[in-house]
Structure 1
Amino acid sequence: MTEFQQPLSLGYHTDLAVRFHEGGSCEVLELADLGPVVRVATPSNPTFWWGNFLLMPRPPRVGELPAWLAAFRQAHPQARHVTFGLDTTDGEGGAQQEFVDAGFSLHRDTVLTTSQTVPPRTLNTDLNFRPLDATQDADWQAALGLRMAVNAADPEPHEAAGYQTFAARKLDAARAAQHRGRGAVFGAFGPTGQMYSGLGVFSADGAHRAGGVTRYQNVETHPETRSLGLAGTLVHRAGEWARTHLNAQTLVIVADPAYHAQRLYERAGFRPTEIQTAWERPPQEERSATESGSNPDSGRQAEP
């Protein structure tokens, strides 16, 4: 087995670091004609598309699709989805028509970075912005309630019971990572303990990156409290916390360029740095406990 090397892509470098903090694993598979492929697995959450995928070392070439499908099935034999990340920075998708004809969709998200966030023009002071308490179940139940509300308001929501199981597993993993000092989940709390906005911020340092790399995760706001400056305030507060508690020098966030979240992040001081590219094919059955067809950390509201 080839020694694991950190990805070239800053987006996937930080993705893999967070997956590791959440209990996932990364290993390099030397596959004939395909090169060194990174297998990412999250046994505690098998329906997590982007916790169970293969990272391609380069864009796929014409005629390689059968080999890539066989490699994925060997690496993730129980998975109903098929997901490939591309360890590139320019958005090149490779043999696009071949993958599209096989039912895949190509996603290109923007990787944004900053050394320090700036506060929004209107800093929200009505709610309590703080890290969740890793020892208090009530905080994490509030976070789960927020995720369920966001899912229910989505134009194409996931089936509620299955999604609740999936979201609870994700929060359990984040809670464990926070307990180990790897980062924190933040919330905007009302006076009765309801959580109206949330995000995660976790260390993503690695041997082949300079220290202080930190990744935002799962920025979301309750559908009834949007446009109140909650997400912008939370992004700034969490960034300041990360600079103090995680020695953050490079803050990383990923956004869907077609969604308004990227503009919010740019107002907070982030600037586009790379393009993160992915191929994905959902299960043929109706969506349930799996993620949506998108990276959950890209700013789309369909997943945490």
Structure 2
Amino acid sequence: MHLRSLGYRTDLIFARSRGRVTDLGEAVAVANPHSPSHYFGNLLIFRRPPQPGDLPHWETLFARHIGQPPETPHRLFGWDVPAEGKADWTQFLRAGYHLEENVVMAAPRLRPPPQPNTRAEYRPLADTDEEWAQALGNQIASREDGYDEDRYRRFKEGQLRGLREMCRAGQGFWYGAFLDGRLVADLGVFSDGEGLLRYQSVGTDPAYRRQGLCGSLTFFAGEHARAHFGAERLVIVADEHYVAKRVYSSVGFQDAERQQLLLHVSR
């Protein structure tokens, strides 16, 4: 099973650990029975962009290999990039789908941020319930607007449980920035075992933003993980219009490719 996209190739680090990945030939099916409502844990990645007439076939494949409401309350389609051919998603948009666009950024190694925060302590989390509870609290506090706190907490509890197991298995590290012993920023970095490292769930407590913590932690974690795994390339996925993209650029990440997906959420 080979995907060209750095974004999807590194997405499979988590999909293989927490769910199942199936090569259907025309697409790769990613499914997580433990979290069927998690968008990026349950999707189809096609070998080519959407074309007129694809909608009914793609939806049938999703229902057959991923799931359907009420257990799986969404449908999510991506396509391997860079891919030949022009995408035509007109039919999907008319059917109520929303186009999601992200930028995949990469770097062989990182440089220190222009304004580092030297007050904080940066290190991998200890494998203790106390420190992982702090990470959970920070992930919830730093969530984007529009997410219900209780539902987001349940999702993050399950996600971090799986990520902690991956850390225990030697697949990556979870890092924190600590001020006076309190975790105020956190993120994960995980290896695909073939030279790629992928960042996951970068979050900074809103009360501690604009203090250089995110850039400093991103730099520290990348260099620590790169040295540990002997990796050749670091990968991170960002919203094109989100302020964090500028932070990632400041430590050496550069745009590598664009990732487009079509999402439909059942009401």
TM-score, structure 1 as length reference = 0.83
RMSD: 1.6
- In structure 2, C-alpha distance between the alignment counterparts of 1:9 and 1:197, rounded to whole Å: 28
Determine the structure 1 residue equivalent to 2:138: 146
Alpha-carbon distance change, 142 to 93 in structure 1, aligned in 2, over 3 angstroms: farther
- In structure 2, C-alpha distance between the alignment counterparts of 1:91 and 1:222, rounded to whole Å: 41
Determine the structure 1 residue equivalent to 2:184: 196
- In structure 2, C-alpha distance between the alignment counterparts of 1:107 and 1:140, rounded to whole Å: 30
Any idea what SS the aligned residue of 2:51 has?
coil
- In structure 2, C-alpha distance between the alignment counterparts of 1:161 and 1:110, rounded to whole Å: 29
Cα distance, 1:94 vs structure 2: 2.1
Determine the structure 2 residue equivalent to 1:42: 32
Contact 2:177 2:183 in 1 (8 A): yes
Determine the structure 2 residue equivalent to 1:14: 10
Determine the structure 1 residue equivalent to 2:224: 241
Structure 1 segments, 4+ long, off by >4 Å, are: 90-93
User: 5+ unaligned residues in a row in structure 1: which ranges?
Assistant: 31-35, 206-210, 285-304
Contact 1:123 1:229 in 2 (8 A): yes
User: 5+ unaligned residues in a row in structure 2: which ranges?
Assistant: none
- In structure 1, C-alpha distance between the alignment counterparts of 2:260 and 2:84, rounded to whole Å: 5
Contact 1:53 1:72 in 2 (8 A): yes
Alpha-carbon distance change, 137 to 56 in structure 1, aligned in 2, over 3 angstroms: same
Alpha-carbon distance change, 197 to 90 in structure 1, aligned in 2, over 3 angstroms: farther
After the TM superposition, which residues 58-77 of structure 1 pair with which residues of structure 2 at under 5 Å, given as runs? 58-77=48-67
Cα distance, 1:190 vs structure 2: 2.5
Contact 1:129 1:237 in 2 (8 A): yes
Cα distance, 1:45 vs structure 2: 1.8
State percent identity of aligned pairs.
36
Any idea what SS the aligned residue of 1:141 has?
helix
- In structure 1, C-alpha distance between the alignment counterparts of 2:254 and 2:83, rounded to whole Å: 15
Report Cα offsets for 1:240-271 as digits up to 9, x if no partner.
Answer: 11121111210111111111211111110111
- In structure 1, C-alpha distance between the alignment counterparts of 2:125 and 2:36, rounded to whole Å: 25
Cα distance, 1:159 vs structure 2: 2.1
The letter for the 2-side match of 1:259 is Y
Are 2:105 and 1:105 aligned?
Answer: no
Alpha-carbon distance change, 137 to 12 in structure 1, aligned in 2, over 3 angstroms: same
Farther off after superposition, 81-90 or 194-203: 81-90
- In structure 2, C-alpha distance between the alignment counterparts of 1:283 and 1:237, rounded to whole Å: 40
Cα distance, 1:185 vs structure 2: 1.0
Contact 2:19 2:30 in 1 (8 A): yes
Residues paired across the two proteins, number: 264
